[in-house]
Structures are given as C-alpha cells and as structure tokens.
C-alpha cells in the first residue's frame, strides 16, 4: 500500500515538472550604431591662383584612391580652400575649381563619382588663419576625408549622446570661431534632430583633422 502511494506521489511530481514550460531566453541588448571609421585625411596643394594638379598632388590622389578601393560603401568629402590673396568672389570660384579637379582625378582613378562630395570654401574656414593678402601654401589646398561606415554593433552611445559628444569635441578643439554650418549642426543636435547634426559635425571635425569621439 505504501509502495503504491509512493509511486502515485512520484508520478504526480514528475507530471507537474514536465508541465512547466522552460523560462524564455533573455532578450538581446538593443542594437546601436557605431561611429564611422575614419581613414587618415589627406591634403592636395596648389600653386598660387591655380587649380592644376602637380605630380605630387597626383601621387596623393592615387594613394587616396587605392585606400578607397580597400573599403566598402565609403564616402569621400573634398573641401577646397584658397589663401587670402585676391578677391573673395574669385577665391570662392577658385576653391571650387580645385575641389572639382581633385574629384575628377579621383574618378579617373576608379572612385565612383556618386561617392564624392566636393565643395569650395574660398577664404572661409581657412586651415591656417591669416590676414588679408597673405600667400599661405596650406590654404591653397583641397582637404580629402574618406569615411567608412561600419556594421551595427551592440552597446555604445545613443545618437543623441553621440551628437552631443561631437558638439563638445568641436567646441573644445576648434582653433577659430565656430562657422555657421557647424553652429547650425550643433543646434540640430540640441533640438533632437541628430540625423541632420551628426553628418555635418563629423565632416567638420574630419576636415579640421580633429579625431571623432568614440561611441564606446
């Protein structure tokens, strides 16, 4: 009798254990985007009043194109500059011609035109701040930035945190008064429009040779 009762109790306990479903696995952490990878920036120099590429400039462009071909879905940003010799209108046009010359050379070297953004800044946002009518070689240039997107990764800053970090980095390390484009991008970050603020601030820091903050 006792043996039969023991078997009944054991069977009941076993049946109860089998009827309990195993706990669900924990949910994976939310996916957040990493900051884009940044290749070393490059600079192409020009003669006074010229947009003609020198052999030295072509060697730099060929190296940038070779680096680009090792990436996937990279973007190239070209920022043309001039020194302060000549009128502002002439220099704005000249800086655009310089940026276009570098863009065309990159395309001939196999970089897709759709991946390149080329703009002239004239005497604005000078790499080296000078007085008027100063013949400064560093300002007769086109700065080249190649940014490579990376896959999604776990953890890291949110877009809002990253936007704020970019703004703080620019405020701390800029060498001159903030330009209107960067100021507008920082305002977009403060307003919560990170999609508009982040790319502009990343480009501004890159062109100023300021390392991007890590999202980790």
**Residue 53 belongs to domain with CATH number:** 3.30.1330.60
- For residues 138 and 162, membership in a common domain is answered with no
- For residues 43 and 123, membership in a common domain is answered with yes
Domain presence at residue 62: yes
- For residue range 63-115, what is the model confidence (pLDDT) as tens digits? 999 999 988 788 999 999 999 999 999 999 999 999 999 999 999 999 999 99
- For residues 105 and 194, membership in a common domain is answered with no
CA distance 97 to 52: 9
- For residues 72 and 174, membership in a common domain is answered with no
Q: How many CB atoms lie within 10 A of CB 182?
A: 23
**pLDDT of residue 186 exceeding 90:** no
- For residue range 139-150, what is the model confidence (pLDDT) as tens digits? 999 999 998 876
SS3 category, 99: helix
Domain presence at residue 38: yes
Residues 6+ apart with CB under 8 A from 40: none
Q: What is the pTM of this model?
A: 0.59
Provide the number of structural domains found in the chain.
2
Q: Which of 151, 168, 197 is the last residue of a domain?
A: 151
Domain presence at residue 23: no
CA distance 99 to 62: 15
**For the residues 163-185, what does the mean pLDDT come to?**
78
Under 8 Å between Cβ of 88 and 122: yes
- For residues 120 and 44, membership in a common domain is answered with yes
Domain presence at residue 8: no
- E strands, 13-74, in order: 31-32, 37-38, 42-45
Q: How far apart are the first and last CA of the chain?
A: 68
Structural domain harbouring 196: 155-216
For every residue of 135-191, which 3-state class applies, written as one string?
A: CCHHHCEEEEEEEECCCCEECCCCHHHHHHHHHHHHHHHCCCCCCHHHHHHHHHHHC
């Amino acid at each position: 009798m006792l043996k039969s009762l023991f078997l009944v109790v054991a069977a009941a306990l076993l049946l109860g254990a089998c009827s309990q479903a195993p706990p669900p696995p924990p949910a994976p952490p939310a996916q957040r985007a990493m900051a884009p990878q940044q290749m070393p920036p490059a600079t192409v120099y020009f003669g006074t009043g010229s947009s003609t590429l020198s052999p030295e400039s072509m060697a730099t462009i060929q190296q940038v194109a070779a680096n680009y071909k090792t990436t996937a879905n990279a973007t190239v940003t070209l920022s043309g500059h001039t020194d302060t010799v000549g009128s502002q209108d002439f220099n704005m046009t000249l800086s655009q011609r310089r940026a276009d010359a570098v863009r065309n050379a990159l395309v001939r070297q196999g970089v897709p035109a759709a991946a390149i953004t080329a703009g002239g800044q004239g005497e604005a946002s000078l790499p080296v701040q000078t007085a008027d009518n100063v013949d400064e070689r560093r300002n007769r240039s086109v700065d080249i930035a190649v940014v490579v997107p990376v896959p999604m990764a776990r953890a890291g800053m949110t877009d809002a945190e990253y936007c704020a970090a970019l703004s703080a980095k620019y405020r701390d390390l800029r060498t001159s008064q903030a330009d209107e484009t960067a100021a507008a991008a920082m305002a977009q970050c403060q307003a919560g429009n990170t999609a508009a603020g982040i790319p502009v601030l990343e480009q501004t820091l890159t062109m100023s040779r300021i390392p991007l903050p890590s999202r980790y």
